[in-house]
Structures are given as structure tokens and as C-alpha cells.
Chain A
Amino acid sequence: AQTVTQSQPEMSVQEAETVTLSCTYDTSENNYYLFWYKQPPSRQMILVIRQEAYKQQNATENRFSVNFQKAAKSFSLKISDSQLGDTAMYFCAFMKLFSGNTPLVFGKGTRLSVIA
């Protein structure tokens, strides 16, 4: 079974600064996807960024980037130029690659507060 661990229950960052959220995972699979989801107070999970395990290049989406270390099973999220709207719960998630859809396995989340 896969597990996802987020060791930082809460973090805070000043507006316009950079923050990094940590995530480690455990799996015996070789082909999988990793995700970061954002859950604001509205409760809706929003996909922030996705990484395919077979790709060595780290994914980037505007101000969001990841540091994917496959051998270390580490998948951190860096948020640059933090904005007040980034305040939310952030969840790291794992999905096994399969011909159909497999479920997401989530970590417990990190609550990020962006301070003006």
C-alpha cells in the first residue's frame, strides 16, 4: 500500500516571499503520478501541479514548482511570490499509473497562511 506523509501541519509566509512545503511517500510502484492539491475555505480541492514519475524534469506552473526526487521518494512544492489567495490547506497526493483510473492517496495536509 502507498502512504503519503506531510510533516509540516502548519506553515506561514510573508506576502511576496517564497515557501516550500514538504512531502514524502512510500511505494513499491515504478510508474505513478504525484499531485499537489489546494483546499481553500470554500472546501473545493483544486489541482495545483502534477508530476509524472517517469519524467526527470520538475513540473512548474507559474509561481508553483516542485522538487521531485524519485530515489528519495520526496516531492516538495515551492510557492514563489506568495499571495494572500494562496492561504489554504495543501495536500500532497499519489496515484498509481494504471490503464483506468486509480484512487488518489492523500497526505494529512499542510495549512499555509500568507501574511500581509
Chain B
Amino acid sequence: ETGVTQSPTHLIKTRGQQVTLRCSSQSGHNTVSWYQQALGQGPQFIFQYYREEENGRGNFPPRFSGLQFPNYSSELNVNALELDDSALYLCASSLVGGGTEAFFGQGTRLTVV
């Protein structure tokens, strides 16, 4: 098991609602990346945070936003939920300058109905 924890593990939301997913990074890691994994697909990069600032973004609309806190934990916020947002959301923490390995959490399974 890695030191990356995500909460909640599962949740169900209604189309149009907003959701916040949380991630606690591994101790000492200063970078958090978020990925969306649709059913039967590989993870797709949403964005990355480094030192509390967005440090790269994939092809996702602005209604996907995030935060990183001074303790390097992070949140992913999704507004105006759509049915296609149903997916597993993975958080990965890593250390800039400390090698390439990213440690993943167990994910949050989001279902939009």
C-alpha cells in the first residue's frame, strides 16, 4: 500500500450537481496529479499541482478545478456534473527532483445519475 489516500471511495451524484474529491499525498511528496479513468479505458491526465499552483493541464473543461494545500494534500472539484463524468478518479503523488515514480491512491468511484 502507498501512503496516498483518497476520499470518499465511492459516491453517487445527480447530473448538474457539484462534487469535491480529496487526496492526501505521500509524506514528503510535493506534487499531486489527478487522472480520470473511464470504464474500460486507461487513466487520462486532468491536471497537476506543484507548490499550490496548477502546473499542467490535460484536455478537460474549466468546470474541472483543483486546489493544493500547504501540506500538499489536494482537492478535485467538478461543477455541473454530466453523465460522462462517471469514472474512477485517481490521485498520484510524486516528488519533483526526487525521481519519476508516482504513487497512486485507490481512487474515488464517481457515478453521475
Q: Which residues of A contact B102 (CB under 8 A)?
A: 47, 101, 104
Q: Is B105 an interface residue when CB atoms closer than 8 A count as contact?
A: yes
Any B CB within 8 A of the CB of A78:
no
The chain B residue sitting closest to A111, CB to CB, is B40
Question: Does B55 lie within 8 Å of A44, measured CB to CB?
Answer: no
B66 at the interface (CB under 8 A from A): no
A87-116 interface mask toward B, CB cutoff 8 Å, 1 = contact, 0 = none?
000010101000111111111110000000
A47 contacts which chain B residues (CB < 8 A)? 101-102
Structural contact, B33 and A103, CB atoms closer than 8 A: yes
What's the Cα separation between A95 and B102 when bound, in Å?
11
Question: Cβ of A50 and Cβ of B42 under 8 Å apart?
Answer: no
Residue ID in chain B nearest A100 by CB atoms: B96
Does B72 sit at the interface, judged by CB under 8 A?
Answer: no
Q: Could you say which of B45, B48, B90 contacts A45, with CB atoms under 8 Å apart?
A: B90
Question: Binding site of A, secondary structure by majority: helix, strand, loop or mixed?
Answer: loop
Q: Interface size on A (CB < 8 Å)? A: 23
Assembled-state Cα–Cα distance A104/B35 (Å): 9
Query: Would you call B88 an interface residue if the criterion is a C-beta within 8 Å of the partner chain's C-beta atoms?
Result: yes
How far does the alpha carbon of A100 sit from the alpha carbon of B96 in the complex, in Å?
A: 5
Contact A43 B33 (CB under 8 A): no
User: Which chain A residues (18-63) contact chain B, with CB distance < 8 Å?
Assistant: 33, 42-47, 50
Provide the bound-state CA to CA distance between A104 and B55, in Å: 14
For the complex with contacts A101-B94, A104-B33, 17 further pairs of A-B residues with Cβ separation under 8 Å are A43-B88, A43-B90, A44-B1, A46-B104, A50-B100, A91-B43, A95-B100, A100-B97, A101-B31, A101-B48, A103-B33, A104-B43, A104-B92, A105-B45, A106-B35, A108-B42, A109-B41
Q: Which 10 A-B pairs have the closest CB atoms?
A: A106-B42, A45-B104, A103-B45, A44-B106, A43-B107, A108-B42, A106-B43, A101-B31, A100-B96, A43-B106
Binding site for B on A (CB under 8 A): 4, 33, 42-47, 50, 91, 93, 95, 99-109
Q: What residues make up the interface of B, taking CB atoms closer than 8 Å to A?
A: 1-2, 31, 33, 35, 40-45, 48, 50, 55-56, 58, 88, 90, 92, 94, 96-97, 100-102, 104-107, 109
